[in-house]
Chain A
Amino acid sequence: MLGKIRILFWITYGVWLAAFVVLPILLVLYQSLHDVHGRWTLENFFRFFSPVYLRMAGDSLWYAFWITFLSLVVAYPAALALVRLASRDFWLVALILPSWVNLLLKAYAFLGILSEHGPVNALVSLVGLGPVPLLFTDLGFVLVSVYIFIPFMILPIFNAVRAIPAELIDAARDLGASPLQVVRRVIWPLSLPGVRAGVQATFIPALSLFMITRLIAGNRVITLGTAIEQHFLVTGDWGMGSAIAVVLLLLMSASVIFARRSFFAAPVGGE
């Protein structure tokens, strides 16, 4: 169909695929195998397995875990409550809307909110805990990141829960399940594809949010993303930066495969 016109499509789209998808990955791989003098080497990867970098990678994974976990804890009940509203589509848009606001502006807002004289510390002082340092700490970093990821967690979970047939819930109720049991045994397992999508949309970006660490955590938190940025724009060690990027790439692929496999698979019915 469409005869020779198809060739035009192949040329435009094919060039884009080759130049901006395939080639960049190969370039990062190539660069990671070179030292600062342009010589072939495996040194960058050996360096990654030194205590300094392993610790940084460990920290980074640890922060990403907490950010993902807390986002899920906040977003899951919200998605459940949202599905039950009469005007749920309107409220969904209202909850998603903040995610359309530029990330940096939201991070910038927290420079005021979390500051020593800001509203959060005013509240904390009211309870009598005195000002707590939030800005330029890892706690501040986690809080702001969770804030940023909540909408991305709500949306896929909402979609998954909305797709659950009401008959299933009625049946569970008829068979004597308590509301808690309904959530635990029916809704949760059937919403897992959404949870998985939300976790995926959060975990990998959380490993690479270098701007939030720079703005909110000062230079106290170093994630994989921060380290890559540092090597590319500050120290000029592109080889090492690329090696970390390759590790990030592997983590990303692993998480995609991991999420598809049975780790989260629903015990009943499945997908």
Chain B
Amino acid sequence: MWERTGGRLGKAYLVFVFFVLYAPILYLIAFSFNAGDTMYAWEGFSLDWYRELLNDERLLVIALNTLVIALASSILATVVGTAGALLIGMSEARRRRETLLLLNNVLLVSPDVQIGISFLLLFTLAGIALGEGSVLLAHVAFSVPIVVLMVLPQVEKMPKTLLDAAYDLGASHRDVLFRVILPYITPGILAGFFMALTYSFDDFAVTFFVTGGGFSTLPVEIYSRARRGVSLELNALSALLFLLSFAFAFGYYWIQRREMRPRSEARR
């Protein structure tokens, strides 16, 4: 790297940015242990808000809903996205490839509000009732493109000779798909699944538009409660969700690391 002058200044600045980024999160968690009920006056340590959270049946049901939607939509999105990645990655016509990739990325660059209202229009037109069904479909829909992008590099890395060899040895198309291609691209599929899981778990804006009155996910519920003002039960909930988010992030990081390792070893 380049000259060292200013290195200390840079480090001090990084510490500052680091502090700024983490302060709100730590602040929120700290006050989840507050005995009082405001987010600015500390009145001693207590676990009351966690107790209240665990007794809040409505919230527990919503948490379960969120988890089920996330798992189900990620599995479906992984299947569709893997098909898409194979289609794009193995297509020989450059023009078609680029068109498909462009269409694939539309949902990734569109603002959430845009996606939310366009899906709302779609479901209304198609006569799909707003509720868990529409939320599930919407989550599958916006997770597919990210799965494609996670799997695609693996498909492109796959040597053509591998497939030729399998065919020469008499493998059927099915065998090639299930015993050669899918095992080869598994790291990408796992990474895609994990990303889809986080996307689904995190989404507020799209869900907000396509959910009816009776069905809710955690982000939507947090929004409606936060609009009513500060309640430290929300802080307790966020503390738990932070743990989960961090677990997701580390899970994803770990998969990426594992995926990187064989490649760098091969280079050596």
Contact = CB atoms under 8 A, between A and B. Distances in A.
Contacts of B3: 169, 173, 179, 182
B87 A13 contact: yes
Interface residues of A, number: 88
B11 A118 contact: no
Contacts of A94: 18
Interface string B22-35: 11110110010000
A205 B80 CA distance: 26
Contacts, number: 240
A16 B14 contact: no
Contacts of A252: 109-111, 114
B242 interface: yes
B117 A242 contact: yes
Contact of B113 (A9, A173, A208): A208
Contacts of B63: none
B90 A2 contact: yes
Nearest to A182: B2
A112 B23 CA distance: 12
A3 B2 contact: no
Nearest to B223: A104
> Which secondary structure dominates chain A's binding surface?
helix
A2 B91 CA distance: 11
A119 B40 contact: yes
Interface of A: 1-6, 8-10, 12-13, 16-17, 19-25, 27-28, 31, 74, 77-78, 80-85, 91, 93-98, 100-113, 115, 117-119, 147, 150-151, 166, 169-170, 173, 179, 182, 200, 204-205, 207-208, 210-211, 214-215, 225, 228-229, 232-233, 238, 241-242, 245, 248-249, 252, 256
Instruction: Report the interface size class on chain B.
Output: 35 or more
B129 interface: no
7 contacts: A2-B90, A17-B104, A28-B114, A85-B11, A100-B249, A102-B245, A108-B28
A103 B6 CA distance: 34
Contacts of B83: 8-9, 12-13
Given A24-B121, A97-B246, A248-B111, A103 B27 contact: no
Contact of B21 (A95, A205, A208, A210): A95
B125 interface: yes
Given A20-B144, A27-B122, A225-B113, 12 more contacts: A8-B83, A12-B79, A24-B121, A27-B121, A31-B121, A81-B14, A84-B7, A102-B202, A113-B27, A119-B27, A169-B3, A252-B110
A24 B202 contact: no
Contacts of A245: 113-114, 117-118
Contacts of B226: 104, 107-108, 111, 215
A55 to B, nearest CB: 19
A2 B111 contact: no
Contact of A112 (B31, B86, B208, B241): B31
Contacts of B39: 111-113, 115, 118
A108 B222 contact: yes
Contacts of A98: 21-22, 25
Contact of B80 (A13, A24, A238): A13
